[in-house]
């Protein structure tokens, strides 16, 4: 296994997770460096979303440790990890149907908002300024993904591709230190996918941890500098796109997967 | 965009017209009607407290009459013991309601759905016992009178009417503001997408405790005004069925938090018990029917899902 974790990024070490007798993750380790777009690929059911859930505190592995910027994350719930600056998108769209797209993105800023309970009921000058500031940031995030024009629509009136971009806007709105995206390109058409890639590349900063889960090889190969491959709950390979492309195990898994499609 | 703007303007105008009519009503109506309307406003606030819990918490309470009674008795007891009017007792009642809501919500923060509803039922069942048991404070079966004016010099009936109306309108405005606030958005998200909300730092227990505390505070405010508007509090007005009726009122108003919708719910629960009382032998059966309806609705979440898609807001 990995010795001496010196990284200040998001680190998972020896994570094992099982539901009843079903082993979903088996001694999985990965290091997400800041400033590097990291990809996680693997066939359906490999455990990518489960690993995500372990990193964001939704699941707790039976074994293993995780840390972010040197701070141990073990035992922290999802809300506490969010407070550490880790945000995510969901593979299954998680929009509130009662709220407009803009309001859905505004919720992503909750931890950054400073208005108290009194101003939740009574309009005040300070509250109005705070509200406008939050809306400006949410609009900027929507703009970044090219969907600002539909900010005031309800999710039920928008196509799934736009909603997926909206979820990413919500994840980036609060200027997080780590962004985990679960199949961001699922349901997007070719144009939307290109917009998304461009937005993600623009997003990259030297201090940002960015993890993208995909089962679309081409997209990952173009976007990521570091790639991990998960199969049946085991990390079977990691490396640069060139290394991954040449890896015999990956070729076997993906040829098998292609045969299924 | 402009169509939306025009729509908002029309709604706002209709709302202003409604408030104007209610403001002028005392010129035409008198006596009993005015008294009934004042009570209706107070009941509307109580209905709003239940609707708020449904809309922002996704939960159903059968026991909100407990918090309403708390507010009403707070006003009565503060007047009796300390001779202070609702200028003092109204804010105190709200704080007391919030405190009681918090004390109830904290241990039950992991309960939801039918389990929470049953837990609140315990409150409603305990209420009459408490009111009669603490006779020294509550006046037992007789109850207490509330005599102090808020605005000296104004006729009693008009005071009741205008104070209740003013508080109701202010609460509706506050609720409209709340819908856009950070806390309001967070609560709606926590209800619709609890996991996503957690990932954004909104914990489920925060959401549950907050909404229950707020809703109990509003119920206590409603109670304080019920006491003021009826000039009396007694165990008769806070039976187990009061809690059920509040829920029925909320269902009738489609759990909406707007003034007109809530008024319909408030009017319903102000009038129906009066008519039910005339039904004599039929009363238990009618209560039974009300309970079945409420159970069905509680089971279905809320009535909005039966509306055509475009009307759900
Ligand atoms: N909460 C859960 N309970 C039981 N099994 C689960 C749960 N979450 C995931 N799994 C199982 O874990 C395996 C991996 O799922 P998942 O992580 O969603 O894979 P991927 O995202 O790579 O497609 C699947 O077999 C799935 O059925
Ligand atoms: Mg998945």
Last residue of a domain, one of A124, A159, A174: A174
Residues of B in contact with A152 (CB under 8 A): 1, 4
Express each pLDDT in A56-81 by its tens digit: 999 998 999 999 998 899 889 999 99
B211-243 CB burial, b ≥16 within 10 A, e <16: bbbbbbbbbbbbbbbbbbbbebbbbebbbbbbb
Q: Confirm whether A91 is domain-assigned.
A: no
**What is the average pLDDT score of chain B?**
85
d(CA A243, CA A224): 12
What SS3 class is residue A19? strand
In the predicted model, residues of chain A with pLDDT beneath 70 are 1-7, 255-261
Domains belonging to chain B, first-starting first, are: 9-275 (1.10.3470)
User: Cα(A214) to centroid of ligand 2, in Å?
Assistant: 8
- Which protein residue's CA is at the shortest distance from atom 6 of ligand 1? A19
Query: Which helix (H) or strand (E) covers residue B270, if one does?
Result: helix B259-277
> Residue A24 maps to which CATH number?
3.40.50.300
What pLDDT was estimated at residue A261? 43
Residues with CB under 6 A from ligand 1: A 19, 22, 24, 42, 44-50
Structural domain including A206 reads 1-85+177-261
Q: Does A65 share its domain with A128?
A: no
- Give the model's confidence band at B108: pLDDT under 50 very low, under 70 low, under 90 confident, else very high: confident
- The answer to whether residue A90 is domain-embedded is no
How far is it, in rounded angstroms, from Cα A228 to Cα A234? 10
Measured between beta carbons, the chain A residues lying within 8 angstroms of B188 are 96, 98-99
Domains contained in chain A, number: 2
Helices and strands in chain B: count of H runs, count of E runs: 13, 2
Evaluate whether A132 touches A64 at the Cβ level (below 8 Å): no
What's the whole-number mean pLDDT along residues B35-54?
95
Residues A142-188: pLDDT tens digits? 998 889 999 999 999 999 889 999 999 999 999 899 999 999 988 88
Segment B67-91 shows an average pLDDT of: 91
Residue A153 located in a structural domain: yes
What DSSP state is assigned to residue A148? G
B91 contact partners, CB below 8 Å, separation of at least 6: none
Which pLDDT value is given to residue B118? 83
A193, A181 in Cβ contact below 8 A? no
Determine the distance in angstroms separating the CA of A177 from the nearest CA of chain B, rounded to an integer.
13
C-alpha to C-alpha distance for A149 and A146, rounded to whole angstroms: 8
A95 at interface of B, judged by CB pairs closer than 8 A: yes
- Taking alpha carbons only, the member of A46, A84, A104, A257 closest to residue A179 is A84
Q: Considering A121, A154, A174, which residue would you say is the last residue of a domain?
A: A174
Q: Which two tokens stand for residue A156?
A: 């039920």
Q: Cβ B198–A122 below 8 Å, yes or no?
A: no
Q: Which of A145, A174, A203 is where one domain is finished?
A: A174
Give pLDDT, residue A77. Answer: 92
Please determine, for residue B11, whether its predicted confidence score (pLDDT) is greater than 90: no
Strand order in A37-41's β-sheet?
A86-88, A178-182, A209-213, A37-41, A226-231, A234-239
- Same domain assignment for residues A165 and A201: no
């Amino acid at each position: 296994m990995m010795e001496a974790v010196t990284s200040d990024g998001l680190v998972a070490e020896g994570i094992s997770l099982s539901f009843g007798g079903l082993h979903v993750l088996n001694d999985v380790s990965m290091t997400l460096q800041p400033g590097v777009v990291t990809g996680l690929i693997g066939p359906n059911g490999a455990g990518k979303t489960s690993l995500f859930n372990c990193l964001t505190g939704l699941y707790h592995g039976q074994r293993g440790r995780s840390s972010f910027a040197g701070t141990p994350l073990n035992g922290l719930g999802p809300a506490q990890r969010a407070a550490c600056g880790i945000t995510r998108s969901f593979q299954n769209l998680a929009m509130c149907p009662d709220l407009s797209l803009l309001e859905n993105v505004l919720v992503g800023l909750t931890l950054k908002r400073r208005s108290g309970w009194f101003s939740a009921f009574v309009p005040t000058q300070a509250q109005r300024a705070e509200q406008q500031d939050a809306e400006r940031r949410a609009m900027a995030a929507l703009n970044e993904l090219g969907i600002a024009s539909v900010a005031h629509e309800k999710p039920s009136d928008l196509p799934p591709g736009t909603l997926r971009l909206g979820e990413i806007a919500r994840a980036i709105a609060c200027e997080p230190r780590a962004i985990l995206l679960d199949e961001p390109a699922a349901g997007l058409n070719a144009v939307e996918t290109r917009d998304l890639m461009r937005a993600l590349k623009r997003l990259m900063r030297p201090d940002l941890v960015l993890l993208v889960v995909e089962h679309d090889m081409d997209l990952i190969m173009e976007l990521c500098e570091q790639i991990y491959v998960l199969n049946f709950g085991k990390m079977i390979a990691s490396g640069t796109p060139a290394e991954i492309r040449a890896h015999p195990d990956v070729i076997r898994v993906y040829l098998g997967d292609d045969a299924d499609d | 965009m402009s169509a939306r703007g025009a729509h908002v303007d029309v709604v706002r105008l209709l709302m202003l017209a409604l408030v104007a009519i209610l403001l002028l009503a005392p010129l035409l109506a008198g006596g009993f009607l005015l008294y009934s309307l004042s009570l209706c406003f107070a009941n509307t606030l109580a209905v709003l407290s239940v609707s708020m819990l449904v809309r922002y918490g996704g939960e159903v309470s059968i026991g909100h009459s407990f918090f309403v009674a708390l507010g009403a008795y707070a006003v009565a007891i503060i007047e009796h013991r300390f001779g202070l009017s609702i200028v003092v007792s109204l804010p105190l009642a709200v704080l007391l309601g919030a405190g009681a809501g918090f004390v109830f919500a904290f241990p039950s923060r992991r309960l939801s759905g039918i389990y929470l509803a049953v837990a609140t039922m315990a409150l409603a069942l305990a209420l009459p016992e408490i009111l009669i048991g603490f006779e020294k404070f509550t006046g037992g079966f007789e109850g207490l009178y509330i005599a102090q004016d808020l605005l000296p010099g104004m006729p009693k009936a008009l005071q009741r009417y205008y104070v209740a109306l003013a508080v109701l309108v202010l609460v509706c405005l506050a609720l409209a503001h709340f819908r856009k606030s950070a806390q309001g958005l967070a609560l709606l998200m926590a209800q619709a997408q609890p996991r996503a909300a957690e990932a954004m730092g909104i914990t489920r227990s925060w959401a549950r405790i907050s909404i229950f505390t707020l809703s109990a505070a509003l119920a206590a405010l409603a109670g304080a005004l019920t006491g003021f508007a009826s000039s009396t509090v007694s165990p008769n007005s806070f039976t187990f069925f009061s809690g059920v009726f509040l829920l029925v009122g909320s269902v009738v108003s489609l759990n909406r938090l707007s003034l007109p919708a809530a008024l319909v719910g408030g009017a319903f629960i102000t009038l129906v018990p009066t008519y039910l009382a005339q039904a004599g032998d039929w009363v238990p059966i009618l209560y039974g029917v009300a309970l079945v309806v409420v159970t069905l609705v509680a089971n279905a979440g809320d009535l909005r899902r039966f509306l055509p898609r475009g009307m759900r807001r």
